[in-house]
């Protein structure tokens, strides 16, 4: 199969790793596996654009119920605090700015939250490329993994 990601930090040695069944992975995707169950997850490392636009969609499609409840809880808590502390005349503007800030927050940290939750459930990087990518992005700490 021809590699569609040629030219994206890849060379003839297939530095971008192999996904399931030998399919190529984009250079910013990491693979993690649970050694006890054999389950494998592949996800992007970095800013989550879908989580920025629609914060609840990625956790739903990934089956990440823990982080979905975290996102919904933080959003609901912030909205309740703002509604209790801001006058009704400026409510729309303040909620708009706060919601935009929360969307930037979820876009910036959702993928990290997802990987860290997987690591707490026993997943580890599947290969050296994924381990290096997750370490450079500060998602994976090899010192904590040895404990």
Average pLDDT, the chain: 85
Instruction: Tell the burial category of 125 from Cβ atoms under 10 Å away from its Cβ (0-12, 13-18, 19+).
Output: buried
The pTM of this model reads 0.81
Using an 8 Å Cβ cutoff, are 120 and 6 in contact?
A: no
Q: What separation in angstroms does the CA of 96 have from each of 85, 93, 103, 136?
A: 15, 5, 11, 34
Q: Where along the chain do its domains lie?
A: 46-129+138-145
Please give the distance of CA 117 from its chain centroid, rounded to a whole number. Answer: 10
In a 3-state reduction of DSSP, which class is residue 20?
Answer: helix
Taking Cα atoms as reference points, which of 98, 110, 124 lies closest to residue 60?
A: 110
Bridge partners for 29 per DSSP: 44
pLDDT tens digit string along 25-69? 888 999 999 999 989 999 999 999 999 999 999 999 999 999 999
pLDDT tens digit string along 77-95? 999 998 888 887 778 888 8
């Amino acid at each position: 199969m021809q590699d569609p990601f040629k030219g994206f930090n890849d060379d003839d040695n297939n530095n971008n790793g192999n996904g399931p069944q030998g399919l190529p992975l984009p250079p910013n995707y990491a693979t993690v596996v649970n050694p006890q169950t054999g389950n494998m997850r592949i996800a992007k490392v970095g800013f989550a654009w879908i989580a920025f636009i629609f914060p609840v969609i990625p956790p739903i499609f990934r089956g990440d119920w823990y982080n979905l409840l975290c996102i919904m809880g933080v959003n609901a808590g912030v909205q309740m605090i703002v509604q209790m502390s801001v006058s009704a005349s400026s409510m729309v503007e303040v909620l708009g700015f706060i919601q935009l800030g929360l969307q930037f927050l979820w876009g910036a940290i959702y993928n990290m939250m997802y990987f860290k939750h997987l690591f707490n459930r026993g997943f580890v990087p599947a290969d050296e490329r994924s381990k290096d990518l997750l370490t450079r992005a500060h998602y994976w700490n090899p010192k904590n993994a040895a404990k």
